Structure formats: structure tokens, C-alpha cells
Amino acid sequence: MNGEQLQLFEEQTIRTSWDEKNEEWYFSIVDVVGVLTEATNPRRYWSDLKRKLKNEGAIQLYENIVQLKMKSSDGKYYATDVANTEQLLRIIQSIPSKKAEPFKLWLAQVGKDRIDETMDPELIAERLVSTYERKGYSREWINQRLQAISARKELTDEWNDKGVSSPSEYAVLTDELTKAWSGMTTRQYKKYKGLKKESLRDNMSTTELVLNMLAETATKDISKVSSPKDFAENKNIALRGGSVAAVARTALEEQTGVPVITSQNALQLNHVVQAMIKASASAPKD
């Protein structure tokens, strides 16, 4: 597997994992059931459906369902039933839903897009840009977000090279560098912005993104020259990297007199952008 990813169907999130070896997607069945049925308890629906499939004679499908650890809404990873495209299409046949046909077309497109992106990685960036544009983000913010994604990937690759492996370790190191530059752990930062399940980075201002990216890039660079031997040393380097961004944050705030950290989330930040555009358009011309 090549790590968990998120896909959107009609603006609803479906957790997926790409199998590099076999070149196919695995989809969280519970997420798919939730989208197609709008059930209040998708897990119970899927549990009942599994029994129905078994009774219908779909023994091979029932026995071939596998589990992967995927991130839940509480931020923790749990074993989750997943299915590849072929298995999922069979499951969908047993779900009465007006969304079944559009979902089948979406499945086909997701598969095609992933193959295309493997051949031409620039398509990944284009898809991300399109997704953020639909959500109303400004072009300036989107460009910075793409750079931040690249910086994060370089850091996690470096951590992996230095022996960091479990999701909990990644979370601890991320908290360490985030707290070093912002004064808050990731959880505290999200609470400050009024977030729950949403991505913290997707709710940062451009300046917050830049400083967070500086913290991650500095951590990566320090790690490369320091060659940490264990988790404790990785943790210390995360603190040092975050401190580099803290110095930049302090210097900027001294120059502007304005706090860098904002409680505004994406919706509010975008609202500010739109308000500025409208104000500019209505302002008297010289």
C-alpha cells in the first residue's frame, strides 16, 4: 500500500489507499455506505449488509474483504473494512440508492485519474488546485498550500529515513515543532480556530502556512546534518526546527504590530478576501 489518501464524492470524504504493486485503489466500505445510503449508522448498515451478502451466496466476496488501518474522525487509526473497485461494485449492487450510478462513474474516473497521475505527476497538482478553487480559496493561498504540501512530504520522508514509523510518533513530532513556533500543540491550534475534523493547514492564513512550512523545512534540514539516532533525538530536532520559525514569527510581529496567529478559519479567511474584493470594486475611482 502507498498510504492513505482522501477522495471526494459530491463533497463527501471517502478514505482510500493506493496499492502500488497491483495498481488499484482500496476504498473504506463504511465511508461508501455512508455516502450512498445516508444512514445514521453506516457501520451497522455495513454489518447487516455483510450478512445479507453471505446469505445471497457471495461467499468469496465476503471472505476476501480485508482490513487496513485508516484515520478516524478522532484522529486515531483503526482497522477498517476496505474493498477494491471490483468488490465495491458488487457491494453497490446490494445497496438501493439513487447515487449508485453516479458513484460507479466516479469510481471509474478515480481509477483513471490515478493511472494518469502516475504517468504525469503534474496532474496531481492540477487536481489539488481545482479542488481548492471550488472551495473558494485565493490563488495566492493555493500556491502557498501546494508548496507546504511538498515541504511536509520532504519532512515525513526524512523522518521515515531516520526511523520514525508509527502514526503516533509522527503526531508527537508534529506537535513538537508546531508548539515551538506557534505556542500551541496541533490540537490546541485547531481548538483556537474552532476546528474539529477539518485540516489545520487548510485553515491557516498564508502567513501561518509560510511559518509552518519554515518550521518543517528547518526541521528536515537540521535532521539531515544531525543524523538523529533515536526518537528522542528526532523530537529534539523538531523543537529546534520549530524554534527557527518562532524567531521569524517574533520578528514579523515586531515589525507589523499584528499577531501572526489568527483564530480565523478557512471560511472566515475567505470571507475576508471576498469582502476586500467587494470593497475594492465599490471604492470610488480616482
137/186 same-domain check:
yes
Residue 276: pLDDT above 60? no
Give residue 277's pLDDT band: very low, low, confident or very high (50, 70, 90). very low
160/253 same-domain check:
yes
| pLDDT average, residue stretch 170-196 | 94
- Cβ contacts of residue 135 below 8 Å, gap of 6+? 266, 270
19/145 same-domain check:
no
- pTM for the model stands at 0.57
- Cβ contacts of residue 33 below 8 Å, gap of 6+? 39, 42, 45, 46, 49, 95
Last residue of a domain, one of 119, 135, 157: 119
133/271 same-domain check:
yes
Lowest mean pLDDT among 25-29, 53-57, 66-70, 87-91: 53-57
Residue 119: pLDDT above 50? no
97/175 same-domain check:
no
Total domains, the chain: 2
| pLDDT average, residue stretch 139-161 | 89
97/171 same-domain check:
no
Q: Per residue in 123-133, pLDDT tens?
A: 456 667 777 78
Instruction: Note down the domain range covering 143.
Output: 127-282
Predicted pLDDT at 124: 54
152/250 same-domain check:
yes
51/168 same-domain check:
no
109/137 same-domain check:
no
Predicted pLDDT at 214: 97
Q: Report the C-alpha dihedral over residues 50, 7, 74, 178, rounded to 10 degrees.
A: 160
Predicted pLDDT at 189: 96
Predicted pLDDT at 118: 44
Last residue of a domain, one of 119, 141, 176: 119
CA distance 261 to 115: 40
Residue 205: pLDDT above 70? yes
Cell 488499484 sits on residue: 24
183: helix, coil or strand?
A: coil
Q: Per residue in 4-46, pLDDT tens?
A: 667 777 677 889 887 766 667 888 999 989 888 878 899 999 9
Lowest mean pLDDT among 6-15, 27-36, 154-163, 198-207: 6-15
Give residue 204's pLDDT band: very low, low, confident or very high (50, 70, 90). very high
Predicted pLDDT at 286: 42
Task: For the chain, give the mean pLDDT.
Answer: 82
**Are 244 and 218 in contact, with CB atoms under 8 Å apart?**
yes
Give the amino acid at 56. E
40/133 same-domain check:
no
CA distance 127 to 33: 25
Smallest Cα–Cα separation from 36: which of 96, 80, 106?
96
| pLDDT average, residue stretch 220-236 | 96
Last residue of a domain, one of 119, 136, 167: 119
Instruction: Report the relative pairing of strands 66-71 and 77-84 from DSSP bridges.
Output: antiparallel
156/70 same-domain check:
no
113/167 same-domain check:
no
